[in-house]
């Protein structure tokens, strides 16, 4: 049996599901893309090729091996995108929550059934159908669960709106001892620089008390200000619009001291090192073209 435990984003990682880029399928048609960034690359002829993405993900697997982290991989479905394992489920405390994602992606969950089978069935939560939620919007942080959402009446017009208020309420009901704090995110179907697909596209806590943040990702300024006050200005690395577009907030913590980051994030990586972090740099620029990066392709199961 897997003894699940995730209290926050940065405690020492022991077990994780890492997605896979194998048999990723043909380049999608522009009109079939789930996010504006993928669409942009399809139209520009720069959509990533499978071999490059496989190589990038193997680099991450090697870092996990170095730190003695148990890695689970999805079963390979022919011609199917299974990179972003964060979207399909997430762990809070000892509970495994199945995410209600875009219906086209249901098979991704089936491909990790061999992992789910190792979890006590009583610890698996399936939210009601009306709760839309993806793991990229959910961050346990000690007493809090931070959640990215969009509550506009035009929610259904945005393919980029992935977590609704019903899901926020359901999380509060399932984790009554925590405070669920929701943040309204800026959504845009066609301009990736104006779109925060998930909360981890514009914010992520790191270490014990620091955070990476992008102001424009938040629709409500006082919600952004709350985070600035909570972490303290000196503990925040504010990223630019271009850095958000390149997914600088989407790094991944192996522990409070060690962070996996993309090797081209020069400004961020220098700041992290200045602050005393060990930065494990990997190439991930091809995967980033699908509007997801390191946090999106990992689903932590056990942290100390």
> What residues contact residue 270 under an 8 Å CB cut-off, 6+ apart?
none
The number of domains in the chain is 1
Those residues with Cβ within 8 angstroms of residue 88's Cβ, 6 or more apart along the chain or in another chain = 98, 99, 101, 105, 108, 109, 112, 134, 135, 299
Q: Are 254 and 280 in contact (CB under 8 A)?
A: yes
For position 31, what pLDDT does the model report?
83
pTM for this one?
A: 0.93
Q: Cα(11)–Cα(37) distance, rounded to whole angstroms?
A: 31
Does residue 276 lie in a domain region? yes
The two tokens of residue 196 are 């925060």
Domain that holds residue 287: 13-303
Q: In the sheet where 203-206 sits, what is the strand order?
A: 203-206, 210-213, 236-238
Q: Report if residue 143 sits inside a domain.
A: yes
Predicted local distance difference test score (pLDDT) of residue 70: 98
Residue 65 domain-assigned (yes or no): yes
Which residues on neighbouring strands pair with residue 90, listed in sequence order?
97
The residues, any chain, with a CB within 8 Å of residue 133's CB and separated by 6 or more, are 97, 99, 100, 101, 127, 162, 163, 164, 167, 170, 171
CATH code assigned at 269: 3.75.10.10
The verdict on residue 5 lying in a domain is no
Tens of each residue's pLDDT in the chain, 304 residues: 999 999 999 999 999 999 999 998 888 888 887 777 888 888 888 889 999 999 999 999 999 999 999 999 999 999 999 999 999 999 999 999 999 877 778 899 999 999 999 999 999 999 998 999 999 999 999 999 999 998 878 777 776 678 999 999 999 999 999 999 999 998 877 776 787 789 999 999 999 999 999 999 999 999 999 999 999 999 999 999 999 989 999 999 999 999 999 999 999 999 999 999 999 999 999 998 887 899 999 999 999 9
Q: Is residue 4 part of a domain?
A: no
Cα 200 to Cα 251: distance, rounded to the nearest angstrom: 9
What pLDDT does 123 receive? 98
- What is the reported pLDDT for 209? 98
CB 41 within 8 A of CB 278: no
Asked if residues 54 and 62 have their Cβ atoms less than 8 Å apart, the reply is no
Is residue 1 one of the residues assigned to a domain? no
Q: Report yes or no on 68 lying in a domain.
A: yes
Of the candidates 90, 226, 223, the residue with the CA atom closest to the CA atom of residue 151: 223
Using one digit for the tens of pLDDT, what is the confidence trace for 10-45?
999 999 999 999 998 888 888 887 777 888 888 888
Residue recorded with tokens 């059934």: 113
Is 8 within the bounds of a domain? no
């Amino acid at each position: 049996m897997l003894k699940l435990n995730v209290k926050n984003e940065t405690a020492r990682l022991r077990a994780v599901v890492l997605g896979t880029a194998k048999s990723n399928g043909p380049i999608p048609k522009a009109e079939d893309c789930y996010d504006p960034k993928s669409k942009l690359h399809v139209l520009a002829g720069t959509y990533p090729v499978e071999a490059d993405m496989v190589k990038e993900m193997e680099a991450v697997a090697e870092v996990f091996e170095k730190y003695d982290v148990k890695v689970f991989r999805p079963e390979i479905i022919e011609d199917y995108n299974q990179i972003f394992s964060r979207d399909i489920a997430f762990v809070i405390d000892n509970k495994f929550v199945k995410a209600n994602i875009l219906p086209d992606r249901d098979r991704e969950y089936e491909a990790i059934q061999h992992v789910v089978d190792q979890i006590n069935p009583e610890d698996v939560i399936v939210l009601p159908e009306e709760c839309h939620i993806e793991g990229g919007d959910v961050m346990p942080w000690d007493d809090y669960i931070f959640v990215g959402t969009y509550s506009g009446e035009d929610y259904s017009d945005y393919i980029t709106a992935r977590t609704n208020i019903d899901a926020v309420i359901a999380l509060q009901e399932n984790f009554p001892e925590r405070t669920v704090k929701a943040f309204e995110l800026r959504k845009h179907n066609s301009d990736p620089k104006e779109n925060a697909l998930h909360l981890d596209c514009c914010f992520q806590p790191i270490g014990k008390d620091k955070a990476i943040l992008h102001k424009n990702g938040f629709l409500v300024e006082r919600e952004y200000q709350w985070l600035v006050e909570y972490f303290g200005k000196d503990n925040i690395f504010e990223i630019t619009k271009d850095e958000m577009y390149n997914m600088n907030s989407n790094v991944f913590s192996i522990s409070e001291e060690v962070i996996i980051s993309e090797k081209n994030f020069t400004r961020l990586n220098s700041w992290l090192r200045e602050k005393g972090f060990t930065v494990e740099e990997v190439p991930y620029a091809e995967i980033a073209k699908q509007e997801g990066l390191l946090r999106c392709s990992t689903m932590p199961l056990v942290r100390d």
